[in-house]
Amino acid sequence: MKCDYSAKDNLSPELFSYREGECNLFIVWKTAFACGPRTQTNCTIVNNNQHYDLSPLTRYSDNYVIHIGNETSPKLVLNVCHSVIRQRGSICPVKTGICLDDPKRSNRYSSLGEVQESPFFTNGRLQIEYKNGGICSVLSIVTPHIKTTIIFICDLEAKTETTPEYLRGQEECHYRLIWRTAAACSVEALRDYSAKTAGKCTVTNPLTNFTYNLQPLMNKDFIVTSSSDIEYKFRICGSLTDNTCGAKTGVCDSKHNASLGQANANLIWQQGGPYLNYTNGKICSQTGMRHYTIIGFFCGPEGSTNAPFLMEDNPCQTVIHWNRDLSLGFPVVSPTLNKDLRTTLHYLGGSECPDHPTKSISSNFTFICDDNNQKLPVYKSFVDCTYMFEWKTSIACGAVMGSWTPPCAIKDGFLSHEYDLSLLHKNQQIHYVKGKQGKEYGISICGGEKYCNGSAVCHENNGYGSLGSVIFDYSRNDIKLKYTNGSKCNNNSYSSEVRFICDESMGVGTPKLLLVSEHFN
């Protein structure tokens, strides 16, 4: 049995696919009854009239895991606005928002901070702080307990399937992480971003990149009935054809032949489900404004009706809700690992299964690490009302450790890709980039051993580290060179990271400074 706080009470055990004749069956039963006590905080905040909501990052059946260094180093296990899910591989102390998993220690799991406060802004940065962790054993640090600060950076291209990156702080009893994610953007910014890519009766969720398509509901009349038995006839993303309530009407009060709003095909995204806003209806006598209608679409609870219903019926506003499982087809759970340690995604709640009318069709996608991103999913079989697909993609490889090959090449240790970086040094040995405060940093990827006391990144006489690791992150489609043990910086040493992002149109390109972390307290 597996803890899942979001599981419905009637969720049944899940049997992994198996071949005939196999003696071992794998069954997983996700249920909230397998969970212990938990700690949560409000995950929203308003700053400068902008609304922020980090709750899409909260996990209810698993945790985020980040390695400090290479894959054999200790790991950070964390959640967002919610205590860590206690399960095999993450037996963290109760109330812990983040903990250290170090198999080499007798006390393997130690708290790095508890869930106590909601997100907040400091110096214009959205942050979460987990305080009151384990006892700090560093003699030079006066703070008695370990704490962790997570800085969230709005990145509309990053979506929510990202993980935080460890910056530093292990030696100071103050762990610092940075997280680039679309969930850190304001709701207003997300809505504007989504509107730019919206089509006719379609809109894309900027957090997940899932596209809602309500076009199958177009060109049909639907009816909801008020408490006083008045019928409201409406259409989705188009006007009614009879013109009883006037041209362009999207919602019509059939009793009074009054328009409750003119139709449009501008589907608008919001967390929870998209909606249509039909404006410019009849004049509202109470305010002199025109009547408008909101038609909201939601993933309704299991067993709920698929028919639209009248949610609110006010003199100047009408609200219609519609639970539409097919139009909002999300995967039921986050990606998980199967028994072969491959990433799988399971979709439930499809159409009626022709073989078993009491069941619904489902789909399983298994993602396999492969260096070809142009391939599409391949259909494998149809077993017990479930379509089985395999999808070979480098995204499934995750982060792969690489190595440096002199004089100036890097090699992926898993897929054996080798990249020659010598063009970064051929015509210009040192590339410069300026920070917001005017500081100028020099970068010499290929000549690092001869530049700035062996550092590839340098500011004045301070070296920002020698090459410590090469990471091919296929989930983000970038390559990271991490430099550590640079010049002394207070009680620590400078470090840096250079990230390469593939863009064939850029040529050699120019570096850009993303972040200077020495300003974080």
pLDDT of residue 185: 93
pLDDT of residue 256: 92
In the numeric block, the tokens 């199967």 are attached to: 338
Sign of CA dihedral 503, 481, 439, 151: positive
Phi then psi dihedrals of residue 326, to 5 deg: -70, -35
Q: Which amino acid is at 71?
A: E
Could you check whether 336-396 and 399-501 share the same CATH topology? yes
Q: What is the average pLDDT across 6-21?
A: 65
Q: Give the range among 143-152, 177-186, 321-330, 381-390 with minimum mean pLDDT.
A: 321-330
- Rounded to whole angstroms, how far apart are CA atoms 239 and 250? 4
Residue 208: Cβ within 10 Å count: 14
pLDDT of residue 301: 59
Q: Which residue has the higher pLDDT, 352 or 68?
A: 68
Phi then psi dihedrals of residue 33, to 5 deg: -70, -15
Residue 435: Cβ within 10 Å count: 12
| Residue 196 binned pLDDT confidence (cut-offs 50, 70, 90) | confident
Say whether pLDDT at 82 is over 80.
yes
pLDDT of residue 373: 58
Q: What is the average pLDDT across 478-505?
A: 84
Residue 368: Cβ within 10 Å count: 15
The verdict on domain 336-396 having CATH code 3.40.50.2300 is no
Q: Which of 22-26, 104-108, 290-294, 382-386 has the highest mean pLDDT?
A: 290-294
CATH number for the domain formed by residue range(s) 189-323? 2.70.130.10
pLDDT tens digits, residue range 375-404? Answer: 678 888 888 888 888 888 877 777 778 888
pLDDT of residue 382: 81
- Contacting residues for 473 by C-beta, under 8 A, at least 6 apart: 398, 399, 400, 479, 480
pLDDT tens digits, residue range 402-424? Answer: 888 888 899 887 666 788 888 88
Q: Give the range among 9-23, 50-64, 479-493 with minimum mean pLDDT.
A: 9-23
pLDDT of residue 235: 95
Contact (CB, 8 A) for 29 and 2: yes
Q: What is the average pLDDT across 494-511?
A: 84
Number of H helices, E strands in the chain: 2, 42
**pTM exceeds 0.95, yes or no:** no
| Residue 131 binned pLDDT confidence (cut-offs 50, 70, 90) | very high
Burial pattern 7-43, b for ≥16 Cβ within 10 A else e, equals beeebeebeebeeeeeeeeeeeebbbebbeebbebeb
- Rounded to whole angstroms, how far apart are CA atoms 163 and 149? 15
pLDDT of residue 241: 92
- Rounded to whole angstroms, how far apart are CA atoms 444 and 387? 51
pLDDT tens digits, residue range 306-356? Answer: 789 898 888 889 999 988 754 445 444 556 666 666 788 877 666 667 767
Q: Which residue has the higher pLDDT, 17 or 276?
A: 276
Average pLDDT, the chain: 83
pLDDT of residue 168: 87
Can you read off the two tokens belonging to residue 500? 């390469």
Contact (CB, 8 A) for 497 and 514: no
- Rounded to whole angstroms, how far apart are CA atoms 456 and 429? 11
pLDDT tens digits, residue range 228-284? Answer: 899 999 999 999 998 899 999 999 999 999 999 999 999 998 877 899 999 999 998
* Domain ranges within the chain, ordered by starting residue: 36-184, 189-323, 336-396, 399-501
Contact (CB, 8 A) for 277 and 270: no
| Residue 148 binned pLDDT confidence (cut-offs 50, 70, 90) | very high
pLDDT of residue 521: 41
Burial pattern 63-95, b for ≥16 Cβ within 10 A else e, equals bbeebeeeeeebbbbbbbbbbbbbbeebebbeb
Q: Which CATH class is domain 36-184?
A: mainly beta
Q: Which CATH number fits domain 399-501: 2.70.130.10, 3.40.720.10, 3.20.20.70, 3.40.50.300?
A: 2.70.130.10
Say whether pLDDT at 439 is over 60.
yes
Can you read off the two tokens belonging to residue 5? 């706080």
Say whether pLDDT at 107 is over 60.
yes
Q: Which amino acid is at 11?
A: L
